[in-house]
């Protein structure tokens, strides 16, 4: 659940359609292929797409691709966006947006996506200790009907407490995966509150921003062989195995990888396999 919105647990992250996670680096997917991947994702049952206006490179805009591929949008499709980071027209990173600039960022997402409201807007936290003013500004946009639900990204427990004092929080997006422990304890904090926990870079592993797993862990390879699955599928299955409130938003511009990612939603790991893959604590042998 994202507030009152029900979504399938495997979603789609649009960032990689623009190139690498550094946005201005890497080779973006062919535009026609990217549009085909988005449409195929929906055909395969994906009903939660994560994007942002600052997902753009010299050749691609994630929001423009989504608009071209999926508008007019079906009633059951949930599009989540993020605001907070600011980039100039050349793609350079500027200072994080002030609270009074967030309305402009929300409206930019609306224009690019061709929508009259945004289903979910996540405040991407850029190192600030307090987010009360920023989240308060988004709450006003929610009250005005421009935004349906609010979330936070790159957050710590104190940020969640600050946000919840202002308006309901439906999701938290943090980096988390087999290689990336939940040092802030947000996985359990979200479970206790009935909030969706949405990890990013859950497949990327050591590569993180570059998107490539340079050397796969032997534990991941062993579980993959046991299930006849790919390492990426095992990583996604492990993520979903951490709780029913956990969603996944893997991104790709490759139709074959897309099909693999979606199929990972049906892969069930045993409790022993889940423990074996928790590389941040001493693994226990499979029985």
Active site members: 55
Task: List b or e across 149-170, with b for residues whose CB sees 16 or more CB atoms inside 10 angstroms.
Answer: bbbbbbbbeebbebbeebbebb
Q: C-alpha angle 49/118/155, rounded to 5°?
A: 70
83 close to 103: Cβ distance less than 8 angstroms: no
Beta bridge partners of 147: 118
User: How far apart are the C-alpha atoms of 284 and 276, rounded to whole Å?
Assistant: 6
């Amino acid at each position: 659940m994202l507030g009152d919105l029900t979504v399938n647990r495997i979603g789609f992250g649009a960032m990689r359609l623009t190139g690498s996670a550094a946005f201005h680096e890497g080779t973006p997917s062919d535009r026609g292929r990217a549009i085909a991947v988005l449409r195929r994702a929906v055909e395969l049952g994906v009903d939660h797409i994560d994007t942002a206006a600052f997902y753009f490179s010299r050749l691609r805009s994630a929001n423009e691709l989504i608009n071209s591929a999926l508008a007019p949008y079906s009633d059951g499709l949930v599009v989540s966006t993020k605001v907070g980071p600011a980039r100039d027209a050349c793609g350079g990173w500027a200072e994080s947006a002030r609270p009074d600039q967030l309305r402009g960022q929300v409206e930019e997402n609306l224009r690019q996506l061709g929508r009259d409201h945004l289903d979910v807007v996540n405040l991407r936290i850029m190192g600030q200790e307090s987010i009360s003013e920023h989240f308060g500004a988004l709450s006003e946009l929610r009250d005005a009907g421009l935004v349906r639900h609010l979330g936070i990204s790159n957050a710590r427990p104190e940020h969640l407490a600050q946000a919840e004092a202002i308006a309901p929080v439906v999701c938290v997006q943090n980096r988390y995966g087999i290689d990336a422990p939940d040092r802030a304890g947000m996985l359990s904090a979200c479970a206790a509150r009935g909030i969706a926990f949405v990890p990013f870079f859950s497949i990327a592993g050591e590569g993180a921003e570059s998107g490539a797993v340079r050397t796969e862990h032997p534990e991941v390879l062993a579980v993959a062989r046991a299930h006849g699955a790919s390492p990426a599928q095992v990583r996604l299955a492990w993520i979903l195995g951490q709780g029913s409130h956990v969603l996944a938003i893997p991104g790709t511009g490759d139709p074959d990888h897309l099909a693999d990612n979606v199929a990972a939603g049906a892969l069930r790991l045993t409790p022993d396999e889940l423990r074996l893959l928790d590389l941040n604590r001493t693994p226990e042998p499979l029985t």
